Structure 1
Amino acid sequence: MTDREHPHQNGYVLLRQAIAPAWLNTLRAVFDAGVKPSGEWPVPRGIDWRHSQLDTDPTVQAVCRLPPLLAAVVELIGERFFLSQVEGREPLAGGGHQQLHRDLSAQRPGDTVNALVYLDDYGPENGATRIVPGSHRPAPGEPPFDFTDESRSVQLTGNAGDVLIFDADLIHAGSLNASGARRRTLLITYFSELLYSTHLETVSLRNIRMDTTERFDPADFAFGIVKSFI
């Protein structure tokens, strides 16, 4: 199943059960093996989150290139792009709450797309993502968004294997993991090809080890289906 109606209007695509069940146990094991404490990252990470370095794992790399995922990125970014980063994140018990925010496009609207691959079932009790549909492109003259106002936010609920792909300007946030149940995710970032030089300037700060020279071209997509990448 796919929740992908009007991606440009809503600013996101939610792919239901996009990850093969046979891959999930492998991805969970890779996540757990790659966990590093905050002080071992070039830039300290949030203490109420678990962070995993896993970008060179072949199964993780295959997930980043899943045809439906790449097709959704094409719909949102609309031009040649590259895989910039992938890492693991999980809110700890009693942690993970974020205020609504935008990740922000690097230089211009639409040049950055993020994806969250859920490795565990997710919902309000274990800190599922909140989003504000349509908030990535404010209307002309619209007042600035009040990031403390939750009235338009939607709390996502779903199952391991779902993938959320969203414009970096879409307002979103993690939620409190009140139950302590595991909510492991892969956080993937795709950039427009025009941002490659900017990307290279921060590779070491983001602890990126994988090769980022591959390019994905909208011309290789037809009717939302990747013709050949894998």
Structure 2
Amino acid sequence: MLSPTPDKDICPLMIDREHLQQNGYQLLRQALPADWLDELRAAFEAGVIGPEQWPVPRGHDWRHALVDLDARVQAVCRLPALLAGVGELIGEGFFLSQVEGREPLAGGGYQRLHRDLSAQRLGDRVTVLVYLDDYGPHNGATRLVPGSHRPGEQLAPFDFDDESQVVQLAGSAGDILLFDADLVHGASLNPSGARRRTLLISYAAQALYAADLQTRKLRVVRMDTGERFEPADFV
């Protein structure tokens, strides 16, 4: 596996717009205030429910947590640098669609490479991972393929069994990864069982709001998703 490009793991207060557009992702090092971590971890633990308790059953090799009503979690979803990156990728008005907690268990968590896929046009969804623990190959950190999101007007075909171009991320609690939903990516096996709690956040273009409301019960979205963000507000 390849390593992340060091000069692109930049200051958390800066968004590299050219890098985002070209590669489809950015890793913001230490973007979380350090004194938020314990509170976020506590919110994660308080929200954990069994995989069979969700309307759509979840895999038994993951822990899933309901966290979307927690005030500190909501503050994370509105960090200015994070919203600036989301706005750059979506390129129009957008909203916060969902936030939940996820953690791969020992010996679990593996995902085949995949795209989450846009709903109406390329680039209308962005995914964010907020790392609450240190992460790397030892505990199943995300792997991705830079530039595989939208190299042209249409998505290029991709062999999801080909991992020759994969970058596997590594870093520390407090880092934030944001990426285009069309970027090829996947979680990795957690061989050690070391903790790797994350907040998984989804943002979507405003045009998808009505459709998003139709599935919110299946996704156990309890928060108000009516707030709107504009890219111009974060330039």
Q: TM-score range by the shorter chain?
A: over 0.9
**Whole-Å separation in 2 of the counterparts to 1:34 and 1:141:** 39
Q: Which residue of 2 aligns with 1:124?
A: 137
Aligned position for 1:168: 181
Amino acid at match of 1:161: G
The 3 A distance-change label for structure 1 pair 141 and 15 is closer
Structure 2 unpaired stretches of 5+: 1-10
Counterpart of 2:35 (choices 19, 22, 25) is: 22
What do residues 116-161 of structure 1 show as CA deviations (whole Å, max 9, x unaligned)? 0000000001000000000001457986211000000000000000
1:22–1:140 Cα change, 3 Å = closer
TM-score by length of 2: 0.91
> What secondary structure sits across from 2:200 in the alignment?
strand
Matched, 1:55 2:65: no
Share of identical aligned residues, percent? Answer: 68
| Corresponding residue pairs, total | 222
Q: How has the CA–CA distance of structure 1 residues 140 and 207 changed in structure 2, closer, same or farther, with 3 Å as cutoff? A: closer
Give the drift of 1:13.
Answer: 1.3
CA contact (8 A) 2:150 2:156 kept: no
Other structure's SS at 2:48 match: coil
Change (3 A) 1:215 1:100: same
RMSD: 1.5
User: 1:132, 1:34 → 2: CA distance?
Assistant: 32
- Report Cα offsets for 1:195-227 as digits up to 9, x if no partner: 0001011010000000000000123122xxxxx
Indicate how the Cα distance of structure 1 residues 215 and 181 shifts in structure 2: closer, same or farther if over 3 A, else same: same
Alpha-carbon distance in structure 2 between the residues aligned to 1:142 and 1:206: 27
Segments of 4+ in structure 1 off by > 3 A? 2-5, 138-143
2: CA distance between counterparts of 1:104 and 1:219? 25
Q: Is 1:88 matched with 2:101?
A: yes
CA distance in 2, matches of 1:198, 1:46: 25
Unaligned stretches of 5+ in structure 1?
A: 223-230
